[in-house]
Amino acid sequence: MGKIPILIVAHGNLGAALARSAQMLTGRRKDIETLGLEEGDGLTNFVEKVKQLISKFPEANSILVFVDLRGGTPWNAVLATGDPRIQLISGVNLPILLEVLIKRDTVSDIGVLAKCALDAASMCVTSIHIQN
């Protein structure tokens, strides 16, 4: 069994930039793909693009899909595929992606990877006020 595929479906070039940045830190990774929503892409058209991307992994039992915004076109397009293998997570950022890529090296359970992403999300967003 191979590693769980990771897809990043987001607005514009965000997904590709996140994947490149993560691989700068973790090294080149297999089974990570990105798809960007471009201006002029309608939902119907974008759903077809998402289906084509998912079709690259016919043997996968599960697929982890990150989107940038809950409720946005990428989110809705992934849901519209109706693919039961998908675990969908919104709010992707670099720390979350790094944690999941590293964890994926030793974990083959989609639930564990999803929890890893959610745990990373709760720890990576912080606020600090710097005073003189």
**Nearest residue to 99 (alpha-carbon basis) of 129, 83, 119, 75:** 119
In the CATH hierarchy, which top-level class contains the domain 6-124? alpha beta
Per-residue pLDDT tens for 112-130? Answer: 999 999 999 989 888 889 9
Sign, CA dihedral 38-102-84-32, equals positive
Ordered by start, the domain boundaries in the chain are: 6-124
Do 97 and 18 contact (CB within 8 A), yes or no? Answer: yes
- Evaluate if pTM is beyond 0.85: yes
Q: How many residues does the chain have?
A: 132
Query: Percent of the chain scored above 90 by pLDDT?
Result: 89
Per-residue pLDDT tens for 48-91? Answer: 999 999 999 999 999 999 999 999 999 999 999 999 999 999 99
